[in-house]
Structure 1
Amino acid sequence: MDAASPFGLSSQKEVSMRDYSELEIFEGNPLDKWNDIIFHASKKLSKKELERLLELLALLETFIEKEDLEEKFESFAKALRIDEELQQKIESRKTDIVIQSMANILSGNE
């Protein structure tokens, strides 16, 4: 995780630039791998990572409300249904988050 952000936000771009294709753990569907890791890692590590993700979600939702961005967010979410490029960006970001989350859990197992 990035020292500047407890959520690793600034490192998300860095993660997406790395090439993980040669690592066996990242073969197949990243979300399926993440599910396997979450459910098979120690309860303590999984709990810590899920709490980090929930805190990030709460932070983002609070920011949207505080900055009065609800309408923009709803419009953005509706665009997701028809904008294939946006769908790809969201899937890519989701994969980045999953990879970072797996790294957080696995580094705790060392």
Structure 2
Amino acid sequence: MDNSNLLQQLLLIGVGTTSLITEKVRGMTDQWVQEGRLNPDQAKAMIDEIVNHLKADASGIEGGLQRQFQQFLEELGVPQQTEMDELRGRIDRLERRLRDLENRLWQ
């Protein structure tokens, strides 16, 4: 399972949902403008406000998703990249020490 791909797919779903909502609101406000219930400036202000709220909500949701996803991976016991890097470094140092000891024995 590619964790970054899953997170990317979830984020794309969020972006798609935001775009769909924006288009629906634009359609609704366009209709209201045609009916004379709103003037074009009011419609634009309404759309801008809704889009700004959606963007703010999306960034909060993205952060929440990342935290939940990280917690899920921790519960599964999947190590973080920093932990893997640390372990690789330790393995490299141990291999070097082992080679040094082997070289000393053969001299």
Give the TM-score normalised by the residue count of structure 2: 0.36
Structure with the larger RCO, 1 or 2 (CA within 8 Å, 6+ apart): 1
Q: Return the structure number with greater helix share.
A: 2
